[in-house]
Structure 1
């Protein structure tokens, strides 16, 4: 295996200090077995939070993914893009502890590789698709029924890399995480510039296809020299329709140890985003729905320039973990912003229990006016009113 190592030249760990911005950082060097050239790199000394990974950076510059930007081309809904990226890091924490591992955007799955893998499998006449395409093959001139029977299931493969400092005071690649973005709704055109058709993809079908593709992805990754004996976490993400106002969610994950070539078992992931207000929320999440309706009415009665309240609840294993709330208003002056912010703060303190986190954004046509955040388990929210 070709070894990628980061030689540590200076370690300065400052625990419990307030962050400064003078670029005091932990200096690192990169070295490969093929040559002795060393390339300067750094790890920021301060972390925003214990919840975040420290990134690896070279020559004072962020190292972008080798497939930078392709996710925007492949996934239509920006909410899905954000959730897939942040959610993959969230699930990675269970495998790669942020206190021990450093983070880097994917360096092995390049744009060319993903364009090849995300295509359809080459058909029998060789006129459509690629030999390595993971999506079902389809002949040119296929009918609407053939399109529906052979949807494009896989839209994107996201890679994240994790490094760990070893006893020899070097940092090596010690794991990668892979996210497979699977469509829950397939949009297609039978004729170029023709009408668009839609085919809903059931979760069971999505999972079956995703697991088959995950096995193929694992086998291909193992053929890459650097990844032959590295642990690999693989997740399956179910996208929402591109018009959805909430993102999709992860539905399954697995971790294979270094050198393993086969996925032996999968773990079901029970996560879901719910829109408030909505019919789904009223039917399936009645307690939180009623609380949000009461909150909405309280704000409407207090503030004359109120437009509405929109909430996005994140549920894990059937329990509410976090609620993001947006309050759009008509801006009529800073005094009104301060007053409304104080009032919403009091509503949170009095009416919302702290077993879930809550984040409230008060926004006007001029942008965000204030922010109220209370993390899960905390008693008092953090408040910030923006100066403009």
Structure 2
């Protein structure tokens, strides 16, 4: 099994979202609309500032954002980039259940190094006794081999202010688990699949999570802080959406095991539904609203390659809608006119009360314009991208 460190645009985008989405630290001198510093010797720590109370501030040290020591370390087998993005976003959402955005600052993982995560993601063997995935039993059959369960592992640190310093207030660890394990019987040979049920991957994930917890508690800096353990079910390579968080548990007071797991009924769907994506859990009204929006837009502007959406649900309720429109436009005036029209159509047809993002891009992938509305908003913010920088 190969382990690789993935540096992708999707991960950079997520980091940018974390930087841009800044929590309102009402009870801290790192508070809203301030540039707050803490100084230890010659080292200065600041936060990224604030935009909304729904997201965390990030940590800047010595003028640079504190990046993760192990972000992107991944078992080299899953090619669905949507998993990489939705894993980190889902991990933030789980963390908000335990570490409130008005009391904590989010810092990228600083305790697990890349080499450590690589070993943990490996199979258990004589040469890698820290491997969390089961040892290779030498079998190649779909149901007889030991699959790779753990695909990725992510750390997020949550800081609180004590006087003039930021100190660690808690840690979240996410375990990304395969629903399909891809493997070859010979090097560079055909790819085969071992499908893993939700029941099985959940059971394996809970066992691995407790092993990770025991290892973290052996570190003096992590001995007593609250640690959140979250399980993420990865979608298959051919899925049009990313996976989803399926459960989490909280370890407090230095405990070295958790048994009180809370299930999460979070799901992602594609609008319109395809043969590969079944939307049995989606609200029919939401899909109908999107269908009306799509038909209206396509009828008015025929030069479109496609209109799709990723619908994110929590407890069977729509929590966010991300719309993607691919055009065949070349004229700047066409893009401006289309963006204006989409804003009007979205306000009329798309579901209200949830955040909506609409990305309009060309067939070669260049983003032409962007529209967004908050859950409480009624109008859309729009921006048309121009090579001349005039818009």
Q: Distance in 1 between matches of 2:204 and 2:313?
A: 25
User: Does the 8 Å CA contact 1:116/1:132 hold for their aligned counterparts?
Assistant: yes
- Structure 1, residues 49-86: CA drift from partner, whole Å, max 9, x if none? 32332222221122222224424857532211111112
Q: Distance in 2 between matches of 1:116 and 1:72?
A: 11
User: Does the 8 Å CA contact 2:270/2:310 hold for their aligned counterparts?
Assistant: yes
User: Does the 8 Å CA contact 1:66/1:106 hold for their aligned counterparts?
Assistant: yes
Aligned length: 356
Q: TM-score, normalised by structure 2?
A: 0.85
Q: TM-score, normalised by structure 1?
A: 0.85
Deviation at 1:155, TM superposition (A): 1.3
1:165 to 161, 166, 172: 161
In the other structure, the counterpart of 1:20 is none
Deviation at 1:335, TM superposition (A): 2.0
1:150 to 135, 146, 150: 146
User: Does the 8 Å CA contact 1:185/1:199 hold for their aligned counterparts?
Assistant: yes
In the other structure, the counterpart of 1:116 is 119
> Over aligned residues, Cα RMSD in angstroms?
2.2
Q: Distance in 1 between matches of 2:69 and 2:207?
A: 25
User: Does the 8 Å CA contact 1:14/1:45 hold for their aligned counterparts?
Assistant: no
The gaps in structure 2 that reach 5 residues or longer are 1-27
In the other structure, the counterpart of 1:358 is 356
In the other structure, the counterpart of 1:373 is 372
Deviation at 1:311, TM superposition (A): 0.8
Deviation at 1:175, TM superposition (A): 0.3
In the other structure, the counterpart of 1:5 is none
Bigger Cα Rg: 1
Q: Distance in 2 between matches of 1:373 and 1:92?
A: 24
**1:265-304 superposed matches below 5 A:** 265-279=260-274, 280=277, 283-285=280-282, 286-304=284-302
The gaps in structure 1 that reach 5 residues or longer are 1-10, 18-23, 31-37
**1:16-95 superposed matches below 5 A:** 25-30=35-40, 38-44=41-47, 46-71=49-74, 75-95=78-98
User: Does the 8 Å CA contact 2:133/2:150 hold for their aligned counterparts?
Assistant: yes
**1:116-135 superposed matches below 5 A:** 116-122=119-125, 126=126, 130-135=128-133
- Structure 1, residues 153-204: CA drift from partner, whole Å, max 9, x if none? 00121101111012x4432111000000100100112222222210111100
